[in-house]
Structure 1
Amino acid sequence: MEKENRQRSVALVVGVTGMAGLSLAQALKQPNCLGGPWKVYGAARSQPTWFPPSTVDQFIAFDAVDFASMQSNLSPIAHEVTHLFWVTVQFPGDEEANIAVNRTMLHNVLTALKSSPSSRLSHVTLQTGTKHYMGPIQDPTRSNQLVGHEPPFHEDMPRLPYPNFYYALEDLLASHAPSLTYSVHRSSIIIGASSRSGHNALVMVGAYAAVCQHLGVPFRYPGNRYTWEHFCDMTDARVLAQQHVWAAVTEKAKNQAFNCMNGDMFTWKSMWKFYSEVYDVEFKPFDESDAEFDVVEFMRDKGKVWDEIVEKHGLQKTKLEEIAQFNAMKPVLHFNFQHVSSMNKSREYGFFGFADSFKSVKYWVAKLREMKIIP
């Protein structure tokens, strides 16, 4: 009975080497974690050299797009898993391509887990984001035509009339009811620590700051005046992990969607000044000439510069294009609306996690330096 109780909750974290996945695995392994004690399997396409083995009970490498390979790797544990934490994503192209690949990945893993004759899978947590309210802002074929909801964003806003892989994944999970329950977690800009997340805002800004410092050029704000002066929010990966676990084991939260933000707001003017301090570069106030500055074009040919920075500071051997997708940062800093979401629903349902965004930035930048991802 004691052994059965220890194994009662078994998590499979798909995307464990990303920002959300790493924090989620660490949260689940805490001795006082809700619903625990947890046995934690972590999955990703490959295991990086920096990933600490003690973070999970077992690491499994597979490509979720390749069903045969994925099934052979998952079948030995399929009968154990009680909770699937889905925190992985691929962006192969336009939104139709995003829908196809992300839906295929989730469908394949669900099929492999549920096909076990003794399947125990009961709940899936799904990581999405505020594009639910804005539309596919990174789809170059649509980004200039989108009309999103007016902020602050809240969970009962209707879907927008654009293709969105978030919608497709929600529908896929809903189609499995009532054989399993699910929860949806809509984050803002996630900040955390990982060298495997090309969309890690702190790595992008850190790499950009390091290049500016290395070349002796100004650390210009790569956005517009509106975002410089108006409010935005972000999501600490630790708060996001807490919400995933809370929803996974809380009956009232089943089959619900929740925004997940730190609970505070900032202007990019104040945050950019803070970035200048933590990355040790001179603060440059925004001026109108910066509105024409294109960070994607500026960083496009800086791969060799980054290699020099890596060598100079003894960092992990990373390629700039692998750790920082600046085309993901550009639209966020060019919004003409305040990027803020309501956390009221989470609080009404009983989740009270929060973080100070400035303290979060300082904490995670220190972690990224400790991991030798940025100088």
Structure 2
Amino acid sequence: MALENPPASVALIVGITGMAGLSLAEALKKPTAPGSPWKVYGMARRQLPAWFPSALVDVFVSADALDRKDTTEKLAPLASQVTHVFWVAIQVGGTEQESITSNATMLTNVLETLKSDPTSPLRHITLQTGTKQYLGPILDPFLGSQLVHHEPPYKEDMSRLPYPNFYYDLEDLVASYSPSVTYSVHRASIIIGASSRSFYNILLTLAVYATICRYQGLPFRYPGTKYTWEHFCDVADADVLAQQHLWAAVTDKAKNQAFNCSNGDVFTWKSMWRVLCEVFDVEFVPFDDHENEEFDRMGLMKDDEDKAEKVWEEIVESYGLIPTKVKDVTCPEVLSTILHVEFQHVCSMNKSREFGFLGYADTLKSIPMWVQRLKDMKIIP
């Protein structure tokens, strides 16, 4: 597997089959990519799915990063070649402490395998985290309801919160390799992209929900609160996020820095819901306090999982989609948390702009594009 004359830039994308991983592979393979030409190596626990363009990957490694032996056996032959690690992997545990243990183990196994080669040319690590940096472990079953978080808009110089947070541990871990290896941290907002293998994939969750509603003739009601319906939120387009990773990887000024990543605009869920209704060809149902008082479609999908799975199985078969299960491609708990917060989820992009990253996306215009990507990939009809 070793190359006689390896190129100057060799990227290892860990978590390549997720939303950010796919966009990163596409960005790196563009002839105009900063630092090009790039060799792109990809790593994921499972084999590449049918929807992933194999031409985007020069070498693919299927390895379980939680398993040190498996990681070493699979990655050691590449250790003398990889110059940049793009870390977009995540392992979600039942509690935040479990997430700390699993994610730190994965990152340690990969980095120690690469650095154990005395000829390792590794020079930069990009680490993807998120706005939980400013919110705390909002999905932890014990801590989630007790948190006191920072006030938005979120800024990179805000202090760490006094709660366990695996983002903090991963930041400390990559920083421990400095100065021999530089790093950048990318605190992504809610990511919007295309994949059937991302745990926090709210667009695909909404797509499955809308598709089931249309298939069964049910109203596509907003499963959130009046507050989130009317107040501002932001997201991070997976392509913008990939651009920021790549920019930081080759920009000296960005080394050893943390950056928020969002599209640079804001939206209300009311405006987002209109776009989703147009894209999925379902009737727009205005928010109604009385009707939404006890209504929670995402909760219904979770509570009546067998029924949702049966309907989705019919849809997959009817439209010739890639076989998936509702429980594997949706994150109703995550979406419900986002749509029930009592604060505006907004990140400041000032630091990124001041350092020279000017990537952006028009959120409401990008939604139809990503939905079409999911359709082209045969993940949704």
**TM-score normalized by structure 1?**
0.97
For residues 4 and 245 of structure 2, the distance between their equivalents in structure 1, rounded to whole angstroms, comes to 24
CA pair 291-171 structure 1, distance change in 2 beyond 3 A: farther
Please give the residue correspondences for 1:175-194 in structure 2 after superposition, counting only pairs within 5 Å: 175-194=176-195
Give the structure 2 partner of residue 63 of structure 1: 64
Please give the residue correspondences for 1:177-216 in structure 2 after superposition, counting only pairs within 5 Å: 177-216=178-217
Q: Please report how far the alpha carbon of residue 49 of structure 1 lies from its aligned counterpart in structure 2 after TM superposition.
A: 2.4
Give the structure 1 partner of residue 271 of structure 2: 270
The yes-or-no answer on 1:295 pairing with 2:297 is yes
Please give the residue correspondences for 1:310-321 in structure 2 after superposition, counting only pairs within 5 Å: 310-321=316-327
Q: Please report how far the alpha carbon of residue 198 of structure 1 lies from its aligned counterpart in structure 2 after TM superposition.
A: 3.1
Counterpart secondary structure, 1:103: helix
Please give the residue correspondences for 1:339-350 in structure 2 after superposition, counting only pairs within 5 Å: 339-350=345-356
Contact 2:299 2:332 in 1 (8 A): no
Q: Please report how far the alpha carbon of residue 294 of structure 1 lies from its aligned counterpart in structure 2 after TM superposition.
A: 2.5
CA pair 243-116 structure 1, distance change in 2 beyond 3 A: same
Tell me the amino acid that sits aligned with residue 295 of structure 1: R
Please give the residue correspondences for 1:222-261 in structure 2 after superposition, counting only pairs within 5 Å: 222-261=223-262
For residues 249 and 344 of structure 2, the distance between their equivalents in structure 1, rounded to whole angstroms, comes to 30
CA pair 158-4 structure 1, distance change in 2 beyond 3 A: farther
Give the structure 2 partner of residue 91 of structure 1: 92
Please give the residue correspondences for 1:104-119 in structure 2 after superposition, counting only pairs within 5 Å: 104-119=105-120
Counterpart secondary structure, 1:186: strand
Q: Please report how far the alpha carbon of residue 141 of structure 1 lies from its aligned counterpart in structure 2 after TM superposition.
A: 1.1
Q: Please report how far the alpha carbon of residue 8 of structure 1 lies from its aligned counterpart in structure 2 after TM superposition.
A: 0.2
Please give the residue correspondences for 1:22-101 in structure 2 after superposition, counting only pairs within 5 Å: 22-47=22-47, 48-101=49-102
Contact 1:6 1:37 in 2 (8 A): no
Give the structure 1 partner of residue 18 of structure 2: 18
Counterpart secondary structure, 2:55: helix
Give the structure 2 partner of residue 282 of structure 1: 283
Give the structure 1 partner of residue 332 of structure 2: 326
Deviations 1:81-107 (A, max 9, x none): 000000010102100000000000000
Give the structure 2 partner of residue 169 of structure 1: 170
Counterpart secondary structure, 2:52: coil
Counterpart secondary structure, 1:373: coil
Contact 2:6 2:81 in 1 (8 A): no
Contact 2:44 2:63 in 1 (8 A): yes
Match of 2:360 among 332, 351, 354: 354
Q: Please report how far the alpha carbon of residue 19 of structure 1 lies from its aligned counterpart in structure 2 after TM superposition.
A: 0.1
For residues 293 and 154 of structure 1, the distance between their equivalents in structure 2, rounded to whole angstroms, comes to 35
Contact 2:13 2:21 in 1 (8 A): yes
Contact 1:223 1:291 in 2 (8 A): no
More moved, 284-293 vs 75-84: 284-293
The unaligned stretches of length 5 or more in structure 2 are none
Tell me the amino acid that sits aligned with residue 299 of structure 1: M
Q: Please report how far the alpha carbon of residue 35 of structure 1 lies from its aligned counterpart in structure 2 after TM superposition.
A: 1.0
Counterpart secondary structure, 2:214: helix
Q: Please report how far the alpha carbon of residue 211 of structure 1 lies from its aligned counterpart in structure 2 after TM superposition.
A: 1.1
More moved, 294-303 vs 240-249: 294-303
Tell me the amino acid that sits aligned with residue 358 of structure 2: F
For residues 101 and 159 of structure 2, the distance between their equivalents in structure 1, rounded to whole angstroms, comes to 22
Q: Please report how far the alpha carbon of residue 204 of structure 1 lies from its aligned counterpart in structure 2 after TM superposition.
A: 0.4
Q: Please report how far the alpha carbon of residue 285 of structure 1 lies from its aligned counterpart in structure 2 after TM superposition.
A: 0.7
For residues 226 and 249 of structure 1, the distance between their equivalents in structure 2, rounded to whole angstroms, comes to 41
More moved, 51-60 vs 255-264: 51-60
Deviations 1:157-206 (A, max 9, x none): 00011110000100111111112110000111111111111321211000
Contact 2:202 2:331 in 1 (8 A): no
Contact 1:223 1:334 in 2 (8 A): yes
For residues 131 and 312 of structure 1, the distance between their equivalents in structure 2, rounded to whole angstroms, comes to 39
Q: Please report how far the alpha carbon of residue 281 of structure 1 lies from its aligned counterpart in structure 2 after TM superposition.
A: 0.8
Counterpart secondary structure, 2:359: coil
The yes-or-no answer on 1:148 pairing with 2:149 is yes
Contact 2:51 2:378 in 1 (8 A): no
The RMSD of aligned alpha carbons is 1.3
Counterpart secondary structure, 2:77: coil
The yes-or-no answer on 1:220 pairing with 2:221 is yes
For residues 295 and 160 of structure 1, the distance between their equivalents in structure 2, rounded to whole angstroms, comes to 32
Counterpart secondary structure, 2:323: coil
For residues 126 and 299 of structure 2, the distance between their equivalents in structure 1, rounded to whole angstroms, comes to 37
Q: Please report how far the alpha carbon of residue 4 of structure 1 lies from its aligned counterpart in structure 2 after TM superposition.
A: 9.0
CA pair 170-281 structure 1, distance change in 2 beyond 3 A: same
For residues 78 and 218 of structure 1, the distance between their equivalents in structure 2, rounded to whole angstroms, comes to 53
Counterpart secondary structure, 1:75: helix
Q: Please report how far the alpha carbon of residue 325 of structure 1 lies from its aligned counterpart in structure 2 after TM superposition.
A: 1.6
Contact 1:211 1:305 in 2 (8 A): yes
